[in-house]
C-alpha cells in the first residue's frame, strides 16, 4: 500500500508539473483539457483511492488529502525548479524546450502559470490540515504562519507539519477500526456507572472536558459516565461533602445503587473524604485514583513556608475572582493548596482510613524530562524533584500508591507521562503511551472484576 501511495504522489506531481509547463511542452488542446480535468480531480482527491477508502472518518480523509496535496506541492515544485534551471542554461533544447534566452516571453508566462498552479495545490493542502489536523495545535499553526516566508525554514516546518498530520490520520483511523472491531463486546459496560472526579483548579464543563478525549472513548466502548461537579478550589473536607451529595444524587436518579469512582489528583482525596466522613461508602463500588498526592507534596510545604502571608492572600484573591466567574460558589485557594501539603495529608490520612468493602486501586506516572512537559509542568518538574524525587511534574512518585493494587506508568523514550497527560489535558498523541486506550483497559478491568 505504501508503494502504491508513493506511486500516486509521484504521478500526481508529474501531472501538476506538466500542466505548469504546458506552454514549453507545446501540448495540444485535447491533452491540455485532459490534464486540466486530472488537475481538478487531484485537488479534490489527491490520494491513492485504495488508501482513501480505508480511512473511516470524513475529517481524517480531509487531513489525509491535505498532506497528500502538500507532498505533491513539494515534489512538483522540485520538478519545476529542475526544469527551470536546466532550461535557463539551454540544457533542454534537444527535447524541444527552448532556452530562456531564445524564448524569454514564453518562459515568463510559464513561470506565472507554475506559480498559480502551485499556489492552488499548496493552499488547498494547507487549509485542509489547518482546519482538520487537531494534533498541530495552536503552536504549529502559529509557527507555520510565522515561518511561511522564511526560505528553507518554511520547508522544514512544512515537512514537520505533514509528518504530524499524517501520523494523526494513522493513529486516529486505527483507533476507529479498533473500536468498531470490539463494539459488540462493550468492554467498558460495567455493572455500575463511572463517576469521573476532577482535580484542583478545574471544573467540569460541558464543552471543555477536563478528561479530554477519554470519556468519549469510554462511552464508545459501552461505559456510562457522570462527573463529580465539586468546586475546583476548596478544602478536601468541603469538596468531599459536595462529592458525597453528588454520588447519592446519581444513585437516586438512576437507580444504579453504586458508582465506580475514577478520580484525578486532589479529586482522589475528595473522594476518600466523601466515603470516610460523609456517608458515600455504601454507594461506591470501587475507587481508582489517578496521580493523587495521597501523602501530599513536600514542595508545597516548602513553597508556602517561603511565601509571605501577604503575597499568599494576594494570589488567592486573584485566583478566587477568576474561579467564581467559572462557577465556584465559594472558592478558597489557600484551603485547596494547604490540603495538598505533606503535613495536611498526614492528618487527612488519619481521618480517611482505607474503606472496607470497596475495591481501591491507584495509578501514578513519571515525567522523564522537564522539557517534554507542557507549561507549567516544564517549569515545576525540577523543583518538585528536589523535594519529592521522581514526579509527574507536580506530584512525587512516592505519594501515588494507595489501595489494593497500584500501577506506576513509565513510558519508553525521553518524554515520560505528566500529571496532565494522565487526563489527556492537551489532547495530544505521543509515542509510548496511549492514554485513551489505557483508560479503556482500566475500566474493562473493573468490569471483569464484577464492578
143-183 pLDDT tens trace = 999 998 898 899 999 999 999 999 999 999 999 999 999 99
Mean pLDDT across the stretch 24-40? 90
Query: Does pLDDT of 207 surpass 90?
Result: no
Tell me what pLDDT residue 376 has.
Answer: 60
Fold (CATH) for 186-448: Rossmann fold (3.40.50)
Q: Which of 20-34, 63-77, 205-219, 252-266 has the lowest mean pLDDT?
A: 20-34
CA angle 412, 406, 273 (to 5 degrees): 130
Q: Which of 33, 35, 22 has the alpha carbon at shortest distance from 111?
A: 22
Please check the confidence at residue 92 and state whether its pLDDT lies above 90.
no
Cβ burial of 51 (10 Å; 0-12, 13-18, 19+) is middle
User: What is the band of 100 on the pLDDT scale with cuts at 50, 70, 90?
Assistant: confident
Q: Could you tell me if 20 and 80 are in contact, meaning their C-beta atoms sit under 8 angstroms apart? A: yes
Tell me what pLDDT residue 25 has.
83
The confidence score (pLDDT) of residue 374 equals 67
Strand ranges inside 209-273, DSSP E: 225-227, 259-264
Report whether pLDDT(306) > 90: no
Q: State the average pLDDT over residues 18-23.
A: 90
The residue-averaged pLDDT of 330-357 equals 93
d(CA 353, CA 396): 21
Q: In the sheet where 359-365 sits, what is the strand order?
A: 225-227, 194-197, 259-264, 284-290, 359-365, 405-409
pLDDT at 287 over 90: yes
Q: 173-182 contacts: CB < 8 A, separation 24 or more?
A: 173/54, 173/55, 173/56, 173/57, 173/60, 175/217, 175/436, 175/437, 176/56, 176/57, 176/60, 177/56, 179/217, 179/220, 179/221, 180/56, 182/221
CB 300 within 8 A of CB 384: no
Average pLDDT of the segment spanning 90-100: 73
For residue 96, pLDDT beyond 90: no
pLDDT at 187: 98
Q: CA 151 to CA 146: how far, in whole Å?
A: 12
pLDDT at 95: 67
- 441 has pLDDT over 80: yes
pLDDT grade for 308, boundaries at 50, 70 and 90: confident
Tell me which residue has cell 451529595: 245
User: Given a cut of 80, is residue 1 above it in pLDDT?
Assistant: no
Assigned C-alpha cell, 369: 524530562
For 265-373, strand residue ranges (E) read 284-290, 359-365
Closest of 75, 79, 74, 51 to residue 63, by C-alpha: 51
- Lowest mean pLDDT across 59-73, 349-363, 408-422: 408-422
Alpha-carbon Rg for the chain in angstroms: 29
Question: Alpha-carbon distance 390 to 148, whole Å?
Answer: 40
pLDDT tens-digit map of 209-218: 999 999 999 9
Which of 237-251, 253-267, 384-398 shows the lowest per-residue confidence on average (mean pLDDT)? 384-398
Residue 88 has pLDDT above 80, yes or no: no
What residue ranges do the domains of the chain occupy? Answer: 2-179, 186-448
What mean pLDDT do residues 354-373 have?
89
Task: Choose among 258, 249, 259: nearest CA to 229.
Answer: 249
Q: What whole-number percentage of the chain has pLDDT above 70?
A: 97
C-alpha cell, 311: 503575597
Length of the chain: 451
What's the average model confidence in pLDDT over 182-191?
97
Amino acid at each position: 500500500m505504501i508503494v502504491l501511495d508513493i506511486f500516486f504522489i509521484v504521478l500526481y506531481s508529474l501531472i501538476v508539473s506538466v500542466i505548469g509547463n504546458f506552454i514549453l511542452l507545446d501540448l495540444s488542446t485535447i491533452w491540455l483539457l485532459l490534464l486540466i480535468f486530472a488537475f481538478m480531480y487531484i485537488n479534490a482527491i489527491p490520494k491513492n483511492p485504495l488508501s482513501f477508502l480505508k480511512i473511516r472518518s470524513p475529517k481524517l480523509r480531509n487531513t489525509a488529502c491535505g498532506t497528500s496535496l502538500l507532498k505533491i506541492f513539494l515534489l512538483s515544485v522540485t520538478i519545476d525548479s529542475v526544469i527551470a534551471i536546466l532550461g535557463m542554461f539551454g540544457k533542454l533544447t534537444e527535447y524541444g524546450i527552448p532556452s530562456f534566452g531564445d524564448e524569454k516571453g514564453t518562459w515568463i508566462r510559464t513561470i506565472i502559470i507554475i506559480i498559480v498552479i502551485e499556489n492552488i495545490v499548496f493552499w488547498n493542502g494547507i487549509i485542509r490540515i489547518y482546519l482538520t489536523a487537531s494534533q498541530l495545535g495552536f503552536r504549529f499553526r502559529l509557527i507555520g504562519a510565522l515561518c511561511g516566508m522564511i526560505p528553507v525554514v518554511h520547508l522544514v516546518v512544512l515537512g514537520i507539519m505533514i509528518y504530524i498530520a499524517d501520523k494523526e490520520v494513522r493513529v486516529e483511523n486505527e483507533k476507529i477500526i479498533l473500536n468498531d472491531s470490539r463494539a459488540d463486546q462493550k468492554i467498558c459496560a460495567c455493572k455500575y456507572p463511572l463517576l469521573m472526579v476532577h482535580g484542583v483548579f478545574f471544573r467540569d464543563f460541558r464543552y471543555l472536558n477536563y478528561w479530554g478525549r477519554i470519556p468519549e472513548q469510554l462511552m464508545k466502548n459501552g461505559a456510562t459516565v457522570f462527573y463529580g461537579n465539586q468546586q475546583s478550589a476548596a478544602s478536601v473536607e468541603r469538596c468531599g461533602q459536595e462529592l458525597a451529595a453528588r454520588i447519592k444524587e446519581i444513585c437516586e436518579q438512576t437507580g444504579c445503587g453504586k458508582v465506580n469512582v475514577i478520580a484525578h489528583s486532589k479529586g482522589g482525596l475528595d473522594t476518600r473524604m466523601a466515603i470516610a466522613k460523609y456517608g458515600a461508602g455504601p454507594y461506591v463500588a470501587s475507587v481508582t485514583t489517578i496521580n493523587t498526592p495521597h501523602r501530599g507534596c513536600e514542595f508545597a510545604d516548602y513553597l508556602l513556608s517561603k511565601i509571605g502571608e501577604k503575597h499568599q492572600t494576594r494570589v488567592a484573591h486573584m485566583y478566587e475572582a477568576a474561579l467564581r466567574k467559572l462557577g465556584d460558589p465559594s472558592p478558597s485557594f489557600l484551603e485547596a493548596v494547604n490540603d495538598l501539603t505533606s503535613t495536611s495529608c498526614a492528618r487527612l490520612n488519619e481521618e480517611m482510613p482505607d474503606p472496607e468493602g470497596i475495591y481501591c486501586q491507584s495509578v501514578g506516572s513519571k515525567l522523564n524530562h522537564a522539557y517534554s512537559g507542557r507549561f507549567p509542568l516544564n517549569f515545576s518538574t525540577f523543583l518538585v524533584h528536589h523535594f519529592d524525587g521522581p514526579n509527574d511534574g507536580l506530584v512525587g512518585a512516592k505519594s501515588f500508591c494507595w489501595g489494593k493494587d497500584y500501577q506506576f506508568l513509565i513510558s519508553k523514550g525521553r518524554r515520560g507521562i505528566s500529571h496532565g497527560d494522565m487526563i489527556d489535558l492537551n489532547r495530544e498523541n505521543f509515542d509510548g503511551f496511549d492514554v485513551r486506550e489505557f483508560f479503556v483497559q482500566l475500566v474493562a478491568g473493573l468490569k471483569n472484576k464484577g464492578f
